[in-house]
A and B are shown apart, each in its own frame.
Chain A
Amino acid sequence: MHELFLTSHIANDDLSRTVRILQGYCGMKPVSLIERRLMWEGPRARTNLKGIDPGFLMRQPPQLAPVWRGLHEQLVRQSYILTLIYDVTRDFGQAEANGNEEKPVLDCDQLPGTLRWSDLPDPGVNRPVNTRPIISIEEQRGLCTIMQSMGHRFIKEIIQECYRFINNNVVFELSRYLQLPDHAGNKQQRKISTHLPPFQSLVAFDLENKWILTASVRVANGNDPDQMQQGIGELTTVKTEFEGCFDLHMVDRHTVDTRVKI
């Protein structure tokens, strides 16, 4: 699967205006999401990457098997940083804020989550949008165990606050990243915490507290020029329609590099 996207930055002051504009454009109320994103780093090696355990691949149900196999092929070729995404609610840390003794335990391994792999965007000089291959495996349990078995190392977690809008095939995500207060200073964190601090105590990752607006389209087969052209067409239409309002532009592909540096 390929993802085509354009991004823009929105100042925090313009947030409500942006939400209103997108609400009108898409004809829907924003879907407000808070996602916990766990980053896992692959082994620091160039060769002899083992990828995913073959036994695990064999056990997968037929509809998921090709997706896992696709991921395996990528991970054998190159070591990547993978992301696990878990939906959380805004009041995840309320218990702690209220001084409640019993904190809700968030054991990510027991919760259904999404495994997300995305490649370095294609160089594609002729394309007006960023494109990159992605693999997204949704609603899976026990992902942390799988990651460990794949020799991946947990490095960091981050919270994404997001408003999602959809217009035809284009998905607009207006999001910002927040850090846990304990880890704001540290570069790396070694353990997945089972409790989250109250939402209000999270620290914005970006010092200017800007929001990122991403307009993206997913294409099933990136090698099919017709499908790609349709996706590009929809995104450029959006870009033209928002001209003068949001500056949707391509990003330098190396800013979203997910490969492990060795």
Chain B
Amino acid sequence: MASIPNEFPISLKSWPSSNSNDSTSLPNLIQRINFERGGFRDISEESLHQEIAEAEAESSNGEEDRSSEEEEVDEEPDRMKELMTARDEMLVQLEAAHHGAAFALDFVSLLLSKDTPVQAGLSMTPQLREMVGTGTLGADKIQASRITDTQKENNRHVAKGWKIQNLNKTVDTILESATRLEKEMETETKYWEQVLAVSENGWAVCRLPNEKQTLGVRFGFLEAAPAFRNQSLAALRRNADGSISLDQGVTSTEPQCVRVRVQVNGINTGSSTIPRPVPEDGPIESLILQARNTIFSTELWQELSRESRTLGAFNVRYKGDPLTFPLDSERTILLDPVILGDSAPSPPGPDDSTAEGIAIALNLLLAYSHRQNHRRRTQIPAPISAAKRPNPPYNLLRSLITRHRHQQTITSLHNLLAPLCAMLKSASLTPTPSYTIIHSPSQPPPFANFSLAERTISSLTERLESIATLKLTPDTTLTITSRTSQFPVAGTSFGLSLNQESELNATCVAPPAIADVKGVEDYVFFATSCALASLFISPDVDDSSWIRTAQPNVLRKLFQGGRAKQLVFNVSRMKTGTKGVKGNCSLSVAWEWMRHDSWSVGSENTMKYREANEFGEKRGEQGIYEWKHVAGWDDGEGQVMKGLEGVVTDAGREEADGARLRQKSGRVQAFKGN
């Protein structure tokens, strides 16, 4: 046993599978040298040593550089990859050990099969038995062992030492991994608690479709356009310390919102509030919320710019930021997307609430459009056909503009009717004329499960109809229906109607539809004067009463001797010097003597009206009495001297009053304050 070296133990290795693959075999080496160096001619031991030394020096330099670079670039090594390599390595070694053990077992069994064939046959593989047969290998002791007892003892000690060392190492490793696992558990618990908190607050938590091991949170809107819907998923990543972070991936954008500003002559008078950005290490909930607001604002902005292309007729302009449209004659609205925290908050202005209101309205309208998308999506779809399904822009600005126009219309109706009633009241008319404006009840919802929120938005945008009822006299009630529509052309149309019992149905027919407020005003004024005139008509024709003429606002009284007196009622808008003051109107009653003939035959109401107006001016009135209502007068400014009835009675007297009034030869005015 002299050949056995002292460095026992020998490791048992599997037989090399084939010699041909051995790269250190001589033929291989010669071939390699021929190939790499072109033969042995220039190779000496020294030159090779030198070469190796140089290569080592270079590689060590390079490695240092590279390693420092790597550290900088990637501080965290790919843990997963490392684990996988270690696992593979372990598997290879285990397999080799298994092979080695199997061969050793076979060898020993074969050796023993000569002496104890039954026992050895149990542990021998059938293949070996077939190939070589049992008992074919013999062993004999040919020389006494050189290993002394001391050596044996030493070896035992060494083995024990190794064992203890390795056991210690194992214990250390296990302890280390236990600590690591404990730490991992803590961080993992922390992470899951936060994920649970996010989930419990109503956010949808799910697996990421392309990264199955990672949890994500859906912060966007299912009903948004596909581009935004696909961006609405962010990964909830775990930081090293177990805290949670939101990773929006490549779609990550700066938090932004749509800012609404109001400008008068290019000067900002109001701006919507811009929220403060959440710091990057802020609470996860706030970050998710901010991401949601951002994606909503981005979509809002895209939809606004898409819609603006169809709204050129409303002076909506969008040529690069900002998008502008006029709110009224003075104020302009500017819309633009801003990144949170980029601009300083604007100073408070008088129109802040308007801007804020518009911003909220736009957000609500987009949410409403989302609801409508959901409704459309959950209906049975039309069959697949060659026709393309249209994708019209949402009605955001359009709804806002039509709603605003409708409100303006209502305001102008108030501006028309309120002074009219106030003025008639000052003329001591009984019962006092009054008006009401009501919004027509909203239509029953088109769908059964229309929620309250949707119903509210729908009633504010879909059907804009108001009914103004003006009760002029006990007999006559005028109804003005104003209807503002979004499609096909946004605008207001007015429907006018009188009650069935009214006398005015015969004399002053309401036109069925009028397109502007001016037309309504003209008709209302004319109808009022006609209604007032009709109050003083007596059914019997005798000397003491006023009778109707061809013009409904002109009355006539016959006196003996072929003479007649004419009385004209006229209601009109009064011009004042004060700019911007609306809502002034006046009622004038004029009378004069005339020949008794049919002096005017007109067919059109307006012609009658004009002629009646001219009548008073051309013929030299014998008396005129006016009632005015001027908005902005203080109390006590203007005082009513006479009521309408008194004036008409006076005007109807034959001699005395007429003479008296003629003598006065001027206008008698009565003023009434607010």
- Name A residues whose Cβ lies closer than 8 Å to a Cβ of B: 1, 27-28, 31, 164, 166, 168-169, 171, 217-221, 224, 226-227, 230-231
Contacts of A28 in B (CB 8 A): 374, 377-378
Interface string of B437-465 (1 = CB under 8 A from A): 00000000000000000000000000000
Does the CB pair A27–B222 fall under 8 Å? yes
| In the complex, B598 has a CB within 8 A of chain A | no
Does the CB pair A166–B385 fall under 8 Å? no
Asked whether A219 and B384 contact (CB < 8 A) given A27-B222, A166-B379, the answer is yes
Interface residues of B in 365-403 (CB under 8 A from A): 374, 377-386
Closest Cβ–Cβ distance, residue A67 to chain B (whole Å): 12
> In whole angstroms, how far apart are the Cα atoms of A31 and B378 in the complex?
9
Does the CB pair A166–B381 fall under 8 Å? yes
Asked whether A220 and B379 contact (CB < 8 A) given A27-B222, A28-B374, the answer is no
Closest Cβ–Cβ distance, residue A193 to chain B (whole Å): 27
Contacts of A168 in B (CB 8 A): 381
* Max count, chain A CB within 10 A of own CB: residue among B222, B379, B380, B384: B384
Closest to A28 in B: B378
Closest Cβ–Cβ distance, residue B226 to chain A (whole Å): 11
Closest Cβ–Cβ distance, residue A228 to chain B (whole Å): 9
Asked whether A221 and B379 contact (CB < 8 A) given A27-B222, A28-B374, the answer is no
> In whole angstroms, how far apart are the Cα atoms of A219 and B381 in the complex?
10
Closest Cβ–Cβ distance, residue A29 to chain B (whole Å): 8
| 27 pairs from A and B in contact (CB 8 Å cutoff) | A1-B383, A27-B222, A28-B374, A28-B377, A28-B378, A31-B378, A164-B380, A166-B377, A166-B379, A166-B380, A166-B381, A168-B381, A171-B381, A217-B384, A218-B383, A218-B384, A219-B383, A219-B384, A220-B382, A220-B383, A220-B385, A221-B385, A221-B386, A224-B386, A227-B386, A230-B384, A231-B384
> In whole angstroms, how far apart are the Cα atoms of A219 and B383 in the complex?
5
Q: Which 7 pairs, one residue from A and one from B, show the smallest C-beta to C-beta distance? A: A220-B385, A218-B383, A220-B383, A28-B378, A219-B384, A227-B384, A169-B381
Contacts of B222 in A (CB 8 A): 27
Interface SS of A by simple majority: mixed
> In whole angstroms, how far apart are the Cα atoms of A166 and B383 in the complex?
13
Does the CB pair A220–B374 fall under 8 Å? no
Contacts of B380 in A (CB 8 A): 164, 166, 171
Contacts of B386 in A (CB 8 A): 220-221, 224, 226-227
> In whole angstroms, how far apart are the Cα atoms of A92 and B405 in the complex?
48
> In whole angstroms, how far apart are the Cα atoms of A224 and B374 in the complex?
30
Closest to B229 in A: A27
Closest Cβ–Cβ distance, residue A2 to chain B (whole Å): 8
**Interchain CB contact (< 8 A) of A227 among B377, B378, B385:** B385
Closest Cβ–Cβ distance, residue A56 to chain B (whole Å): 25
> In whole angstroms, how far apart are the Cα atoms of A28 and B383 in the complex?
20
Closest to A1 in B: B383
Contacts of A218 in B (CB 8 A): 381, 383-384
Closest to A228 in B: B384
Give me 7 other A-B pairs in contact (C-beta within 8 A), A164-B380, A221-B385, A227-B384 excluded. A28-B377, A166-B378, A166-B379, A166-B381, A218-B384, A219-B384, A219-B385
Closest to B387 in A: A220
Closest to B378 in A: A28
Contacts of B385 in A (CB 8 A): 219-221, 227
Contacts of B374 in A (CB 8 A): 28
Closest to A2 in B: B383
Closest to A29 in B: B378
Interface string of B204-245 (1 = CB under 8 A from A): 000000000000000000100000000000000000000000
Closest Cβ–Cβ distance, residue B650 to chain A (whole Å): 68
Contacts of A231 in B (CB 8 A): 384
> In whole angstroms, how far apart are the Cα atoms of A219 and B386 in the complex?
10
Closest to A170 in B: B381
Closest to A230 in B: B384
> In whole angstroms, how far apart are the Cα atoms of A217 and B384 in the complex?
8
Contacts of A1 in B (CB 8 A): 383
Closest Cβ–Cβ distance, residue A138 to chain B (whole Å): 10
Closest Cβ–Cβ distance, residue A61 to chain B (whole Å): 19
Closest to A234 in B: B384
> In whole angstroms, how far apart are the Cα atoms of A152 and B385 in the complex?
32
Closest to B223 in A: A27
Contacts of A27 in B (CB 8 A): 222
Contacts of A31 in B (CB 8 A): 378
> In whole angstroms, how far apart are the Cα atoms of A27 and B222 in the complex?
8
Closest Cβ–Cβ distance, residue B236 to chain A (whole Å): 19
Does the CB pair B384–A220 fall under 8 Å? yes
Contacts of B382 in A (CB 8 A): 220
